[in-house]
């Protein structure tokens, strides 16, 4: 048979052994097939001097390596040796036990954090900072929203540090929602353990609330980055009720769907605060429904190209003419974007794109090159 020629293998059921007939692809077979009891055994292009079975084994090995990362050890095949015997003799790695990578770091030690330090790091006004802290105290749940690059996650962490009075990573949990994030990841569900057995396991929130409940005199902060990238109704479930400031504590505990009827009920401790961030420019994201929106306070962040940013860039040795050109052009560009009916203020360019001058570049002499690389 010429190389690359496609064939159709037909097995006819006229006895225990049956018979086999190979027909070239494209042959007129309908009249014959309509009169016979048959099954199609193979229908695939083959190469000269290559068996069909070898091709199937190679495909299976490739799929196994693709999905598991395990490569089957190849043994030399003797001429005429059955493929099945060769397959049985090949050692298969033990994959019965899986584990997460072992952490090779320790959490940084807590350092005092004051309002003065926050004012040095943040570009927002004192009024906006005070409004964010007041809203957090009032609702216990806060969402920072704005265009990309306006420092939402940066501010969220520093709001937590201000309330804690220190950079205590042990009382802050940072997670990020995404389209694949689910109730089973966040609250509770059946997930495989190290042996591959599905067991009921707590998600991020119950474990975090358990730590907070054991330390009721100090605040704990759950930071949720990209809050609106997940399916919020599915992720939070019945916990929408417990998010409200007046529904905290054991008196408002609810039974989680996966737990037995006699298991302890779950509640949100009063010392847990939730800060989320929302990117308003991504129109593929669904807006928050009213039931969730009314449980959060909202603070709007905007691009900040004022004096604090200019002083920060000057401290990084960015030349003054480059700073002035950046501020003038970005201010004009953001006005144009905000006035564009196809875009709007949610698509303005944030200041954080320009907050990381390269440490290896001598900015006094290469400031223009750094500015051009930001475009």
Q: For residues 237 and 45, what is the distance between their CA atoms, to the nearest angstrom?
A: 51
Question: Which pLDDT belongs to residue 265?
Answer: 92
pLDDT on residue 47:
45
Question: What are the φ and ψ backbone dihedral angles of 111, each rounded to 5 degrees?
Answer: -120, 145
Q: How much is the pLDDT for 64?
A: 55
Cβ neighbors of 277 (< 8 A, separation 6 or more) are 143, 144, 145, 152, 153, 156, 223, 224, 225, 226, 227
CA atoms within 13 Å, Cβ hemisphere of 365: 3
Domains of the chain: 6-89 (no CATH), 115-300 (3.40.50.300), 307-373 (no CATH)
- What pLDDT sits at residue 231? 86
**What pLDDT is attached to residue 102?**
67
Q: Which are the contacts of 153, defined by CB distance < 8 A and separation ≥ 6?
A: 223, 225, 277
Per-residue pLDDT of the chain (375 residues; tens, 9 = 90+): 444 444 444 444 444 444 445 555 555 555 655 565 555 544 444 444 444 444 455 655 665 555 445 555 554 555 554 545 444 555 555 555 656 666 677 778 889 999 999 999 999 999 999 999 999 999 999 999 999 999 999 999 999 999 999 999 999 999 999 889 999 999 999 888 878 788 888 999 999 999 999 999 999 999 999 988 888 888 988 888 899 989 999 999 999 988 888 888 999 999 999 999 998 877 555 566 777 788 899 999 999 999 999 998 888 888 888 889 989 999 999 999 999 998 999 999 999 888 876 665 555 555 555 555 555
Nearest Cα residue to 37 out of 19, 25, 49, 60: 19
Return the pLDDT at 109.
86
pTM, 2 dp: 0.69
């Amino acid at each position: 048979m010429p190389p690359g020629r496609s064939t159709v293998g037909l097995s006819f059921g006229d006895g225990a052994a049956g018979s086999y007939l190979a027909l070239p692809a494209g042959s007129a077979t309908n009249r014959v097939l309509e009169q016979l009891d048959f099954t199609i055994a193979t229908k695939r292009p083959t190469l000269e001097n290559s068996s069909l079975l070898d091709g199937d084994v190679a495909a299976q090995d490739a799929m196994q390596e693709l999905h598991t990362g395990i490569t089957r050890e190849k043994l030399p095949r003797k001429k005429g040796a059955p493929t099945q015997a060769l397959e049985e003799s090949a050692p298969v790695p033990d994959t019965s036990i899986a584990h997460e990578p072992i952490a090779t770091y320790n959490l940084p030690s807590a350092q005092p954090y004051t309002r003065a330090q926050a004012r040095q790091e943040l570009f927002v006004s004192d009024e906006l900072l005070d409004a964010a802290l007041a809203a957090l105290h009032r609702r216990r749940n806060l969402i920072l929203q704005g265009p990309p690059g306006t420092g939402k996650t940066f501010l969220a962490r520093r709001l937590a540090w201000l309330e804690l009075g220190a950079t205590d990573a042990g009382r802050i949990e940072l997670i990020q929602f995404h389209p694949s994030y689910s109730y089973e990841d966040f609250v509770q569900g059946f997930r495989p353990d190290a042996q591959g057995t599905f067991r009921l396991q707590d998600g991020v929130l119950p474990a975090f609330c358990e730590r907070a409940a054991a330390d009721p005199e100090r605040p704990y902060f759950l930071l949720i980055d990209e809050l609106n990238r997940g399916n919020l109704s599915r992720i939070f479930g019945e916990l929408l009720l417990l998010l409200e400031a007046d529904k905290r504590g054991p008196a408002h505990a609810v039974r989680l769907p996966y737990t037995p009827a006699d298991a302890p009920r779950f509640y949100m401790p009063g010392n847990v605060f939730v800060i989320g961030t929302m990117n308003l420019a991504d129109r593929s994201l669904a807006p928050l429904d009213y039931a969730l929106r009314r449980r959060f306070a909202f603070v709007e962040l905007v691009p900040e190209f004022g004096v604090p940013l200019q002083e920060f860039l000057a401290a990084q040795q960015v030349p003054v003419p480059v700073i002035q050109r950046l501020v003038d052009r970005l201010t004009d560009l953001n006005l144009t974007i905000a006035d564009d009916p196809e875009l709007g203020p949610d698509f303005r360019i944030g200041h954080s794109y320009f907050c990381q001058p390269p440490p290896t570049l001598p900015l006094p002499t290469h400031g223009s090159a750094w500015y051009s690389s930001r475009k």
